Amino acid sequence: MKPSREVGIVGYGAYVPRYRLPASEVSRVWTGGHGGVPVDEKSVPGLDEDTATIAIEAARNALLRSEVDPGDLRSVWVGSESHPYAVKPTGTIVAEAIGATPAVSVADWQFACKAGTEALQAAFALVGSSMADYAMAIGADTAQGRPGDALEYTAAAGGAAFVVGAREQSLAYLEASYSYVTDTPDFFRRPYRHYPEHGGRFTGEPAYFKHITAAVQALLEELGYKPTDFAAAVFHQPNVKFPQRVAQILGFNKDQLKAGLLAGQVGNTYAAAAMLGLTAALDVAKPGDRILMASFGSGAGSDAFSFVVTDVACERQARAPSTQAYIARRAPVDYALYTRYRRKLQMQ
Amino acid sequence: MNVARYWRTEKTRYGLVGETCRICGEPIFPPRDLCPHCTEAGQDVRTFGGKGEVYSFSTVNDAPAGYSEYTPYTVALIKLQEGPLLTAQLTDVDEPDVHIGMPVEMVTRKLKEEGENGMIVYGYKFRPVIQA
Ligand SMILES: [Zn+2]
């Protein structure tokens, strides 16, 4: 897909909470320390953090880099599966906090881990159709896994925000995008349930791998590119192995993955995962670099995007804290403190 | 339920929106009917930048209703770069690391929840500066 007016990313911003739960803590409590772990550690939100506060900080960083007046944003769209309210938009809180209200379209998006990139597709379309000069799309989550479940090693918190604008103002312009979606029940959570259900091995082949490879292959074909045309590739990262394997299947190498593969240090940040990886890749990108991002959302689908970094990227990188600066700001917690921070203790 | 009061003070809490006195030009936070410097009425809205330093601080172990789930936490007097002093919680910091003069920056966090069925109140807190 390509909009009629050329568009790109004008500003981007990341946020990762300060606390980390080492995977060894989960295995100490649940498997006696035996067995492999899917990540080194995952981010844990503090008691005063949720998807709204995470989205707000990522959005402020994106605005700092873009130097766009928040009053000129015509959308603030937040993708998440952990909105703080069941009814009441997260987006209104974010839009008010960053000063984007009231002349703005606000909505919360939902599509498991690709809720944020779905919002990004729409933001490109909003600016690409000239309905707006600037649009903001955010992916943010504070994911929960059932205690002792495989997901507890990885279910993490983080956010990434993008200000979309015309190509001439962009630090990375959009070449094209592609969305590939089928009805695949690999992972879901029913209303009023606290923890999700997942299909175990079923989450791999027919879900993650099939949808990402289909989306990326179609995008490369549409653009006439090979994997070697890209300086960096960022995939949805529920753990470290899945993105490594999908990269291998598609023909990308480990060097291309390096900048944007954060799951080992922050876990799976769900709707933020691919977008947060993209912020880290943009932090170290050079003008002319071509970057691929492919998300995955259970249910299931993948959005794939191809960007080219422009000459203004370097000056904008330094205007807000880098994604790696947030990752380096790390305070480990043990399983006991984690159960308090994630409110897993029954208090009354 | 204090929904109306929370809503009225939202801009102040979310974005450090204060005032500049039209008479004496002093910055004012939080907004007031009369200027605390010259006691005249008449102010213009201004947004503060969110950078400052710890002027004084104290750790709360026995919290007022609505805040007990966050204990222990540190409350500080923050001197904003623009001048005003305000009271706020510190976050993302361990109490032994807090010191007078510590550079801090504003973040928007959950202040409290009005119970399981009530609204979530968001507002400013301060944390050690993360370098760009
Ligand atoms: Zn005055």
| 3 state SS of A101 | coil
Tens of pLDDT along B23-66? 999 999 999 999 999 999 989 999 999 999 999 999 999 999 88
From B9, B6, B16, select the one nearest B124 (Cα to Cα). Answer: B16
The C-alpha R_g of chain A, in whole angstroms, comes to 19
Task: Quote ipTM for the complex.
Answer: 0.95
> Domain A7-171+315-339 - what CATH class?
alpha beta
Residue B46: C-alpha distances to residues A20, B13, B18, B23 (Å): 37, 13, 5, 15
- Give the length of chain A: 348
Task: Give the residue carrying structure tokens 């300086």.
Answer: A231
Place of tokens 């390096």: A258
Yes or no, beta carbons of A46 and B92 under 8 Å apart: yes
- Tell me the three-class secondary structure of B84-127, residue by residue: CEEEEEECCCCHHHCCCCCEEEEEEEEEEECCCCCCEEEEEEEE
B18 pairs with which residues across the strands?
Answer: B46
Query: Does the global pTM surpass 0.90?
Result: yes
**Element spanning B60, H or E:** strand B51-60
Contact status, residue A95 vs residue A78, Cβ threshold 8 Å: no
CA-wise closest residue to B80 among B98, B100, B104: B104
CA of B28 to the centre of ligand 1 (A): 8
Residues in chain A whose beta carbon is closer than 8 A to a beta carbon of chain B? Answer: 18, 46-50, 52-53, 56-57, 64, 84-85, 93, 96-99, 318-322, 325-326, 329, 331, 347
SS3 A105: strand
pLDDT for res A187 = 82
Within A239-286, where are the H helices?
Answer: 241-250, 254-258, 263-266, 273-283
Is CATH 3.40.47.10 the classification given to domain A175-314?
yes
Distance B127 CA to ligand 1 centre (A): 30
- 10-residue mean pLDDT profile of chain A (348 residues): values are 96 98 96 91 98 98 98 98 94 97 97 96 98 98 91 96 98 98 88 79 84 98 98 97 98 98 98 98 98 96 98 97 98 96 84
Domain boundaries defined on chain A? 7-171+315-339, 175-314
- Residue B3's Cβ-count burial label (10 Å; 0-12, 13-18, 19+) is exposed
List Cα–Cα distances, A111 to A79, A118, A135, A281, A284, in angstroms.
Answer: 8, 8, 19, 24, 29
Q: Are residues B110 and A18, on separate chains, in Cβ contact within 8 Å?
A: no
pLDDT above 60 (res B1):
no
State the pLDDT at residue A201: 65
Nearest alpha carbon to residue A135 among A115, A110, A165: A165
Q: How far is the CA of B80 from the centre of ligand 1 (A)?
A: 18
Token duo for residue A63? 């605005």
Cβ distance of A99 and B47 shorter than 8 Å = yes
